[in-house]
Amino acid sequence: MNAPPVDRKAWSVLIVSTLAFTVCFMVWMMFGVIGIPIKKQLGLNATEFGLLTAMPVLTGSLVRVPLGIWTDRYGGRIVMALLMAATVPAIWLMAYATQYWHFLVIGLFVGLAGGAFSVGTPYVARWFPKSRQGMAMGVYGAGNSGSAVNKFVAPVLLVSFGWAIVPKVYAAIMAGTVVLFWLFSHSNPAHRVTSNASFREQLQALKDPRVLKYCQYYSIVFGGYVALALWMVQYYVGEYGLDIRLAALLAACFSLPGGVLRAIGGLLSDKYGAHKVTWWVMWVSWICLFLLSYPQTDFTVLTMAGAKTFHIGLDVYSFTGLLAVLGVAFAFGKASVFKYISDDYPGNIGAISGIVGLAGGLGGFVLPILFGALLDLTGIRSSAFMLMYGVVWVSLIWMYWTEVRRTDVMGHGAQPA
């Protein structure tokens, strides 16, 4: 049976919303590049650097739930336009920050841009039939590639003019995007969800075990993506001694597929189902993180011919290859988690996607700080991947007991719980 036709307004909304989200994500990830000279300028340790990069992620996460609910009530067009416009002054002011607390405070306001995800997801989904929503949300989510755009644009500006020019240029880009979005987006009053429920009542969804499980999945595939996108440029600089431009280019090998291929993840989720795609995503992530976790190691073996020393560790090429595979897995996983939501909560996509997005964003906030703390504590850079390896283990075990094993048992005649 053929999918229902999609009108031109729906495609226009999808294209311009994806552009807007790409710009928002580029701004949200700004500290992943400009944070490196700021760290040197202020003499920050790894934990302080982690907090610096994570501050915008905190705000962008906390506002996702109310923004998702407001999108349900008032429509995505007005909420998205106002959200982007509100970030422009803060982005511009970032260029004039001189002290650590300046960057932290202004970063909180810049971080509002990260809330665009929970606006655009229900906004674009409702323009498409159910059979095409995975694709639509996947295409929109490909705006995560703004992280890679940041890695292409910011280093060039930084090396040529200094880090302070970056927020000024980004503020101008954001202002122009607000205008484009308003001109080419549309509004449909039928997409608004009429509800008098309070925020607290809508947050009762957190009592649903399925929502908690999706939050756990998303804290890895999105939170881990955000954390590594912020962390990888300085990782390349420190671990392999690369200059910031080459480091950013290689880090984009993770960020770009991790954003662009989300659309393919949406198509695969439509075709094969959210569970099957997510299950394989977790296994691929687990294997990649296991290999990435192994630190550069020299060990000596006493043989009959004398002592022999061996080296184990990833060179820059194999490291980048594994990181790219991890980015692809995360891209598919981000789409599959939201396919779960559109399947299970079709009448409450905004609020549920806001809650799950909040969990993913908080993962992106906490992980860089933990990366820095582990680095300061152990001196081992790959400890960041060790931490994420453990978190993926939790998701795999949870999925096995609640989905895989339950499906096997039901297949033998048992009734669902």
The answer to whether the CB of 301 falls within 8 A of the CB of 370 is no
Long-range Cβ pairs for the range 81-85 (8 Å, 24+): 81/178, 81/181, 81/182, 81/185, 83/112, 83/113, 83/115, 83/116, 83/119, 84/20, 84/23, 84/24, 84/113, 84/116, 84/174, 84/177, 84/178, 84/181, 85/175, 85/178
- Tell whether 129 is covered by a domain: yes
Of 377, 273, 406, nearest to 332 (Cα)?
A: 273
Residue with tokens 């929503």, as numbered in its chain: 133
72 three-class SS: helix
- The domain of 239 spans 10-191+201-411
The per-residue pLDDT for 399 is 82
The residues near 74 (Cβ < 8 Å, ≥ 6 apart) are 192
The answer to whether the CB of 14 falls within 8 A of the CB of 335 is no
Model-level pTM?
0.83
| Tokens (6 digits) for 304 | 């009959």
The per-residue pLDDT for 1 is 43
Of 174, 113, 123, 119, nearest to 14 (Cα)?
A: 123
- Tell whether 5 is covered by a domain: no
Residue with tokens 């998702």, as numbered in its chain: 68
- Tell whether 373 is covered by a domain: yes
Paired strand residues for 298: 311
CATH code, domain with 115: 1.20.1250.20
- Tell whether 196 is covered by a domain: no
The per-residue pLDDT for 200 is 67
Q: Which residues of the chain fall short of a pLDDT of 70?
A: 1-6, 194-206, 349-351, 404-417
Dihedral of CA 155/161/162/168: which sign?
A: negative
- Tell whether 17 is covered by a domain: yes
Between strands 297-303 and 306-312, the pairing is antiparallel
259/216 Cα distance (integer angstroms): 20
- Tell whether 1 is covered by a domain: no
DSSP letter for each residue of 265-289: HHHHHHHH-HHHHHHHHHHHHHHHH
Most distant pair of Cα atoms in the chain: their distance = 81
Query: Which amino acid makes up residue 137?
Result: M
Query: Which amino acid makes up residue 12?
Result: S
360/206 Cα distance (integer angstroms): 14
Element (H, E) at 309: strand 306-312
Query: HSE (CB half, 13 Å, CA atoms) of 72?
Result: 24
Q: Hey, what's the torsion of the CAs at 27, 29, 34, 39, to 10 degrees?
A: 140
- Tell whether 2 is covered by a domain: no
CA angle 274, 205, 87 (to 5 degrees): 85
The answer to whether the CB of 313 falls within 8 A of the CB of 294 is yes
The per-residue pLDDT for 415 is 38
Number of structural domains found in the chain: 1
Element (H, E) at 323: helix 316-344
- Tell whether 416 is covered by a domain: no
Q: How far is CA 65 from CA 55, 147, 189, 202, 206, in A?
A: 18, 22, 21, 9, 12
Between 76-93 and 116-125, two packed helices, what is the crossing angle to 10 degrees?
Answer: 160
417/411 Cα distance (integer angstroms): 13
